[in-house]
Amino acid sequence: MTWYLLGAGNIGTLVASYLARAGQPVRRVGRGPAPLQRNLLWPDGRHQALTLAGDDGGLIQRLVITTKAQDTADALRPLLPRLANGALLLRLQNGLGSLDALPLPEGLQQVEGLTTSGAWRDGAQVQVVAENDTLLGLAQGDPEPPADIAALLPHWPGARWCTDIRRQQWLKLSVNAVINPITALNDCPNGALCDDPARQQQARALADEADALFHRLDPDWPGDTYGRALAVARATAANMSSMRADVRAGQRTEIAYINGWLLRQADQLGMSLPAHRLMVAALPA
C-alpha cells in the first residue's frame, strides 16, 4: 500500500528514505505528477539516490505530512476528498495546531511525531546532519502503534513509539517558544541566550507565561521551562534555530504554530500572554 508524502523537503525526504528501506512504496503528493530526484548524504559519507514518484491522484490511505506548519492547511485542503475512510496520517512537524482549521473526516488515525533529527537541502541534495530521537504516538496514548507504523519503526534510526506524545510535544513546544523567537529576533545562535541579561529576561518572561498556561492545561505539568530552555540552548550553543534560519532566508516562520498556538489556548482560558503576543506580532507568519 502506497504512502503519500506531503512536503518532500528536508525531513520529508529523510522519512521517504526510511520508507524506501522498509520496502514501502512512496509517492509525493500536491506538486503534480512529475517524479522527483533526491540524493541524501549522511555525515559518515553514506549516500542514497532516491526517486520519488509523482502524484497519481489515487485514494490516500497513508499520508506523511512534513510541510512547514504554516503551509499545511492550504496544502492538505485539496487532498481531503482523497482521504480513505480510516486513513493513517503521520504529522511530523515543529509546532502544533496546523490541522486545526481543516474539516478532517471522522475516523482518521492521526499519528503525531516529533524529531530532533536534522537535515537541510541544497537543490536536490539533502544533507542529513544528525539522526536523533524521533517520537511517534497517538494523542489518546495508545500503547501499541498501528501496524503500518510498527512495520516502519525498525527502519527508522532513533524512532520509537511513545504513549505520552502530547506531553512530549508540549515540553518541546515550550522550549521552542523561548529559543526560536529570541534567536530569530536577535539574529543570534542558540547559545547567545545564556550569556546576555536582556535575552535571559526575555526568556524568563516567555518561559513563565508558558508554564502558567501549561499548569492550567495539565495540573501535572513539571514546570521549569526556563531551566529546560537554557539547558537546550547550552547543549546546542552553536546551532541556528529553524526560526532564525527562516527569517534570514526571508521566509515565513512557524511562529503561529509555536507561540501562536500558546496564545490560542490562552485566549480560550481567558489568560493573557503578553510576552508571547509580542513575539507573534514581531515575526513573519
Active-site positions?
Answer: 172
For the CB of residue 193, give the shortest distance to ligand NAP in the complex, in Å: 19
Q: 93 near 69, Cβ under 8 Å?
A: yes
Nearest residue (CB) to ligand NAP, 8 versus 182: 8
For the CB of residue 98, give the shortest distance to ligand NAP in the complex, in Å: 8
Neighbours of 241 (CB within 10 A): 22
Q: 118 near 96, Cβ under 8 Å?
A: no
Chain-centroid distance of CA 146 in Å reads 20
- Size of the chain in residues: 285
Nearest residue (CB) to ligand NAP, 66 versus 221: 66
Q: How far apart are CA 137 and CA 164, in angstroms?
A: 7
Q: How far apart are CA 70 and CA 250, in angstroms?
A: 15
For the CB of residue 1, give the shortest distance to ligand NAP in the complex, in Å: 21
Q: 27 near 51, Cβ under 8 Å?
A: no
Please report, as ranges, the residues that interact with ligand NAP according to CB under 6 A.
Answer: 6-12, 30-31, 66-69, 71, 74-75, 93-94, 115, 118-119, 121, 242, 254
Q: How far apart are CA 160 and CA 181, in angstroms?
A: 29
Q: 279 near 202, Cβ under 8 Å?
A: no
For the CB of residue 170, give the shortest distance to ligand NAP in the complex, in Å: 16
Q: How far apart are CA 200 and CA 182, in angstroms?
A: 10
Neighbours of 277 (CB within 10 A): 16
Nearest residue (CB) to ligand NAP, 95 versus 145: 95
For the CB of residue 187, give the shortest distance to ligand NAP in the complex, in Å: 19
Pairing of β 26-28 and β 83-92: unpaired
Nearest residue (CB) to ligand NAP, 189 versus 223: 189
Nearest residue (CB) to ligand NAP, 94 versus 259: 94
For the CB of residue 17, give the shortest distance to ligand NAP in the complex, in Å: 13
Neighbours of 200 (CB within 10 A): 15
And the C-alpha cell for 244? 532564525
List, as one string, the DSSP characters of 30-76.
Answer: SS-S--EEEEEE-TTS-EEEEEEB------EEEEEE-S-HHHHHHHH
Nearest residue (CB) to ligand NAP, 93 versus 225: 93
